Amino acid sequence: MKPDFYAEYFEVEDRHWWFVGRRQILLRTLDRHLPPAPNGRPRRVLDVGCGTGTMLRHLARYGLVEGVDADDEAVRFCRERGLDRVQRAEAPLPFEEGAFDLITMLDVLEHVDDDGAMLADLYRVLRPGGVLLVTVPAYRSLWGRQDEISHHKRRYRARELRRRASGAGFAVRRLSYFNTLLFPGIAAIRLLRRIRPAADELRSDFELTRPGPLNDLLGRVFALEAPVVERAKLPFGVSILALAEKPATAPASAP
């Protein structure tokens, strides 16, 4: 991501409708589908690409949480939040095989040059029977300035994400699009920008909705999808969620 925008993410991540709605969907999915901790011990949890750190605090409900990010600026903002189990790291991750019970990689895989190699490394550091939760942006046709700001390499379709995860050795247990209710408006805005591109410098989409009634309404609408994604799947959306497992009988490393 462009370094100038980390400060913006740090400011809005706790209350912007997109982060708020996404968190409710992710946490409700984990609440329902995350298996019990093995042998009654605390789970070891890793958030890969933890950004400025808000999600780390929410993931603490599942166990002992650590974060890694490839950018020094992101780690600095995590420290500013008082999060000390965070380090700068890129693949291959600096952890032993089978170290973690739960790994999250939330809107990060699209930043990686070789997403297959990244998923294989996550497979390596996840214990057999452990769970991986991944989210990515959907549809190349929705490519816009937020993708440029965030230095995305690609957007996905659900079948592509399944194929990448399966190729790394994971068994995909849940796969769904989300951010479906707001899809028509988001798609229309991105199409309009393509027809009438802005003349000024790149600006984040987060500037469109600042704290206030509209932001709160959008967050509530987005979060309405949580009970659906938890139990079923949505046929299209702005993003994709995959919940995958490293098979309990799997070898330590993916084939």
Reported as a single tens digit per residue, the pLDDT across 133-180 is 999 999 999 998 788 877 899 999 999 999 999 999 999 999 999 999
pTM for the model stands at: 0.91
Residue in 121, 131, 92 with CA at minimum distance from that of residue 252: 121
Fold of 3-245: Rossmann fold (3.40.50)
Helix pair angle (115-125, 158-167), 10° resolution: 50
Residue 11 confidence (pLDDT):
78
Helix pair angle (213-223, 17-33), 10° resolution: 20
Q: Which of 75-84, 186-195, 239-248 has the lowest mean pLDDT?
A: 186-195
pLDDT at residue 197 is higher than 90: no
Secondary structure of residue 106 in the 3-state scheme: strand
Please report, for the chain, the start and end positions of each structural domain, with discontinuous segments joined by +.
3-245
How far is the CA of 190 from the CAs of 25, 63, 75, 156, 184, in angstroms? 24, 39, 31, 17, 10
pLDDT at residue 50 is higher than 80: yes
Reported as a single tens digit per residue, the pLDDT across 59-92 is 999 999 999 999 999 999 999 999 999 999 999 9
